[in-house]
Protein backbone atom coordinates (compact mmCIF):
# COMPACT_ATOMS: atom_id res chain seq x y z
CA UNK A 1 0.00 0.00 0.00
CA UNK A 2 1.25 3.43 -0.92
CA UNK A 3 0.18 6.93 -0.05
CA UNK A 4 0.88 9.68 -2.54
CA UNK A 5 2.47 11.86 0.13
CA UNK A 6 5.63 9.97 1.12
CA UNK A 7 8.67 11.60 2.80
CA UNK A 8 11.41 11.10 0.18
CA UNK A 9 9.48 10.21 -2.95
CA UNK A 10 5.84 10.58 -3.89
CA UNK A 11 3.77 7.41 -4.08
CA UNK A 12 3.08 7.85 -7.78
CA UNK A 13 6.73 7.69 -8.76
CA UNK A 14 7.28 4.83 -6.29
CA UNK A 15 4.43 2.94 -8.00
CA UNK A 16 5.95 3.62 -11.41
CA UNK A 17 9.37 2.35 -10.21
CA UNK A 18 7.85 -0.78 -8.71
CA UNK A 19 5.77 -1.46 -11.79
CA UNK A 20 8.76 -0.85 -14.06
CA UNK A 21 11.02 -3.32 -12.22
CA UNK A 22 11.09 -6.41 -14.41
CA UNK A 23 10.17 -9.60 -12.61
CA UNK A 24 8.58 -7.75 -9.68
CA UNK A 25 5.29 -9.56 -9.16
CA UNK A 26 3.93 -6.90 -6.85
CA UNK A 27 0.47 -5.59 -6.17
CA UNK A 28 0.12 -1.87 -5.61
CA UNK A 29 -2.81 -0.28 -3.79
CA UNK A 30 -2.83 3.50 -3.48
CA UNK A 31 -4.45 4.58 -0.20
CA UNK A 32 -4.53 8.34 -0.07
CA UNK A 33 -6.54 11.41 0.83
CA UNK A 34 -6.48 12.67 -2.76
CA UNK A 35 -9.80 11.57 -4.19
CA UNK A 36 -10.47 13.48 -7.40
CA UNK A 37 -11.07 11.55 -10.60
CA UNK A 38 -7.86 12.96 -12.05
CA UNK A 39 -5.84 11.74 -9.07
CA UNK A 40 -7.35 8.28 -9.40
CA UNK A 41 -6.63 8.07 -13.12
CA UNK A 42 -3.05 9.27 -12.58
CA UNK A 43 -2.52 6.68 -9.84
CA UNK A 44 -3.80 3.86 -12.02
CA UNK A 45 -1.80 5.06 -15.02
CA UNK A 46 1.38 5.14 -12.90
CA UNK A 47 0.95 1.46 -12.06
CA UNK A 48 -1.42 1.08 -9.12
CA UNK A 49 -3.69 -1.96 -9.23
CA UNK A 50 -6.30 -0.12 -7.17
CA UNK A 51 -6.81 3.39 -5.86
CA UNK A 52 -8.69 3.98 -2.61
CA UNK A 53 -9.45 7.36 -1.05
CA UNK A 54 -9.23 7.88 2.71
CA UNK A 55 -11.17 7.30 4.80
CA UNK A 56 -11.85 3.81 3.54
CA UNK A 57 -14.09 1.17 5.05
CA UNK A 58 -12.00 -1.73 6.31
CA UNK A 59 -14.19 -4.19 4.38
CA UNK A 60 -13.44 -2.35 1.13
CA UNK A 61 -9.72 -2.33 1.89
CA UNK A 62 -9.70 -6.05 2.67
CA UNK A 63 -11.71 -6.90 -0.46
CA UNK A 64 -9.36 -4.78 -2.58
CA UNK A 65 -6.26 -6.46 -1.15
CA UNK A 66 -7.83 -9.88 -1.74
CA UNK A 67 -8.62 -8.92 -5.33
CA UNK A 68 -5.04 -7.80 -5.99
CA UNK A 69 -3.72 -10.99 -4.39
CA UNK A 70 -6.05 -13.09 -6.55
CA UNK A 71 -4.77 -11.29 -9.67
CA UNK A 72 -1.16 -11.90 -8.64
CA UNK A 73 -1.86 -15.58 -8.04
CA UNK A 74 -3.63 -15.89 -11.39
CA UNK A 75 -0.73 -14.16 -13.13
CA UNK A 76 1.67 -16.72 -11.63
CA UNK A 77 -0.30 -19.80 -12.67
CA UNK A 78 1.18 -21.82 -15.53
CA UNK A 79 0.18 -20.36 -18.88
CA UNK A 80 -1.21 -17.10 -17.50
CA UNK A 81 1.66 -14.95 -18.74
CA UNK A 82 1.57 -16.59 -22.15
CA UNK A 83 -2.19 -16.06 -22.39
CA UNK A 84 -1.84 -12.40 -21.47
CA UNK A 85 1.05 -11.66 -23.81
CA UNK A 86 0.24 -13.89 -26.77
CA UNK A 87 -2.20 -13.10 -29.52
CA UNK A 88 -5.09 -14.26 -27.39
CA UNK A 89 -8.41 -14.28 -29.12
CA UNK A 90 -7.39 -12.76 -32.44
CA UNK A 91 -4.98 -10.23 -30.93
CA UNK A 92 -7.13 -8.92 -28.09
CA UNK A 93 -5.27 -8.88 -24.77
CA UNK A 94 -4.93 -7.09 -21.47
CA UNK A 95 -2.03 -4.70 -21.10
CA UNK A 96 0.73 -5.86 -18.71
CA UNK A 97 -0.93 -4.14 -15.75
CA UNK A 98 -4.34 -5.53 -16.69
CA UNK A 99 -6.16 -2.20 -16.48
CA UNK A 100 -6.61 -1.68 -20.23
CA UNK A 101 -7.96 -3.89 -22.98
CA UNK A 102 -5.68 -3.77 -26.02
CA UNK A 103 -7.28 -4.20 -29.43
CA UNK A 104 -5.40 -6.00 -32.22
CA UNK A 105 -4.57 -2.53 -33.61
CA UNK A 106 -2.78 -1.66 -30.35
CA UNK A 107 -5.37 0.91 -29.26
CA UNK A 108 -6.43 0.64 -25.64
CA UNK A 109 -9.53 1.23 -23.57
CA UNK A 110 -9.44 1.58 -19.78
CA UNK A 111 -11.30 -1.00 -17.73
CA UNK A 112 -13.23 -0.92 -14.50
CA UNK A 113 -12.38 -3.55 -11.91
CA UNK A 114 -15.41 -5.75 -12.77
CA UNK A 115 -14.67 -5.51 -16.51
CA UNK A 116 -11.05 -6.42 -15.85
CA UNK A 117 -12.00 -9.45 -13.76
CA UNK A 118 -14.39 -10.75 -16.42
CA UNK A 119 -11.80 -10.31 -19.17
CA UNK A 120 -9.04 -11.96 -17.13
CA UNK A 121 -11.19 -15.07 -16.81
CA UNK A 122 -12.17 -15.10 -20.47
CA UNK A 123 -8.76 -14.31 -21.94
CA UNK A 124 -7.10 -17.11 -20.01
CA UNK A 125 -9.27 -19.50 -22.06
CA UNK A 126 -9.54 -17.96 -25.54
CA UNK A 127 -12.05 -19.91 -27.58
CA UNK A 128 -13.22 -21.80 -24.47
CA UNK A 129 -16.50 -21.11 -22.75
CA UNK A 130 -16.43 -19.80 -19.19
CA UNK A 131 -19.56 -20.47 -17.20
CA UNK A 132 -21.68 -17.70 -15.79
CA UNK A 133 -21.18 -19.28 -12.37
CA UNK A 134 -17.38 -19.03 -12.64
CA UNK A 135 -17.57 -15.40 -13.69
CA UNK A 136 -20.04 -14.55 -10.94
CA UNK A 137 -17.95 -16.36 -8.31
CA UNK A 138 -14.91 -14.32 -9.34
CA UNK A 139 -16.86 -11.05 -9.35
CA UNK A 140 -18.50 -11.80 -6.01
CA UNK A 141 -15.32 -12.84 -4.16
CA UNK A 142 -16.92 -16.12 -3.15
CA UNK A 143 -20.23 -14.54 -2.06
CA UNK A 144 -22.10 -15.57 -5.20
CA UNK A 145 -25.39 -16.01 -3.34
CA UNK A 146 -25.59 -12.26 -2.72
CA UNK A 147 -24.51 -11.30 -6.27
CA UNK A 148 -27.22 -10.18 -8.69
CA UNK A 149 -26.64 -12.22 -11.87
CA UNK A 150 -27.99 -9.34 -13.96
CA UNK A 151 -24.85 -7.41 -13.02
CA UNK A 152 -22.80 -9.82 -15.14
CA UNK A 153 -24.96 -9.07 -18.17
CA UNK A 154 -24.58 -5.33 -17.55
CA UNK A 155 -20.79 -5.67 -17.33
CA UNK A 156 -20.72 -7.58 -20.63
CA UNK A 157 -23.07 -5.03 -22.22
CA UNK A 158 -20.91 -2.10 -21.07
CA UNK A 159 -17.73 -3.80 -22.36
CA UNK A 160 -19.27 -4.33 -25.78
CA UNK A 161 -20.65 -0.78 -25.95
CA UNK A 162 -17.39 0.77 -24.70
CA UNK A 163 -15.37 -1.13 -27.30
CA UNK A 164 -17.76 -0.09 -30.06
CA UNK A 165 -17.85 3.57 -28.99
CA UNK A 166 -14.17 4.07 -28.19
CA UNK A 167 -12.54 1.81 -30.77
CA UNK A 168 -15.23 1.41 -33.43
CA UNK A 169 -14.75 -2.36 -33.15
CA UNK A 170 -16.98 -5.23 -32.20
CA UNK A 171 -15.65 -7.11 -29.18
CA UNK A 172 -15.43 -10.84 -30.01
CA UNK A 173 -17.19 -11.74 -26.78
CA UNK A 174 -20.00 -14.19 -27.42
CA UNK A 175 -22.72 -15.68 -25.27
CA UNK A 176 -22.90 -19.46 -25.21
CA UNK A 177 -26.51 -20.38 -24.55
CA UNK A 178 -26.95 -22.31 -21.32
CA UNK A 179 -23.25 -22.06 -20.46
CA UNK A 180 -21.76 -18.59 -20.23
CA UNK A 181 -19.43 -16.58 -22.42
CA UNK A 182 -16.50 -17.13 -24.74
CA UNK A 183 -13.86 -14.77 -26.08
CA UNK A 184 -13.92 -16.01 -29.66
CA UNK A 185 -10.74 -16.96 -31.51
CA UNK A 186 -10.23 -15.51 -34.93
CA UNK A 187 -13.17 -13.12 -34.62
Using one digit for the tens of pLDDT, what is the confidence trace for 93-123? Answer: 888 877 889 898 888 999 998 999 899 888 8
Q: What element of type H or E holds 56?
A: none
The Cα 2–Cα 141 span in angstroms is: 23
The mean of the pLDDT values for the chain is: 81
Is residue 17 located within the same domain as residue 68? yes
**Final residue belonging to a domain, choices 12, 42, 76:** 76
The answer to whether residue 81 sits within a structural domain is: no
Q: Confidence band (pLDDT; 50, 70, 90) for 82?
A: very low
Q: Are residues 25 and 60 in the same domain?
A: yes
Find the domain containing 155 and state its range: 86-187
| pLDDT (mean) for 139-167 | 87
Same domain, 55 and 96: no
Spell out the alpha helix ranges (H) of the chain: 11-20, 37-45, 58-75, 80-85, 88-91, 113-123, 132-139, 149-167
- Are residues 32 and 124 part of one domain? no
Higher-confidence residue of 132 and 26: namely: 132
The confidence score (pLDDT) of residue 120 equals 87
One domain for residues 72 and 114:
no
Task: State the pLDDT confidence band at 43, using cuts at 50, 70 and 90.
Answer: confident
Q: What is the CATH number of the domain that holds 58?
A: 3.40.50.2300
Residue that terminates a domain, selected from 34, 52, 76:
76
Residue 39 has pLDDT above 70, yes or no: yes
- Would the pLDDT of 64 be above 90? no
Amino acid sequence: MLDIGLPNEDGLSAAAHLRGARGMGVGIVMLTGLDSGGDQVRGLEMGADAYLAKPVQIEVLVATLQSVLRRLRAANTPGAHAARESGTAAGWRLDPDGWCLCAPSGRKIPLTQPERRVLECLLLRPGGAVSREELIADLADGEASSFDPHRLEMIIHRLRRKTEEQLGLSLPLRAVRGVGYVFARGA
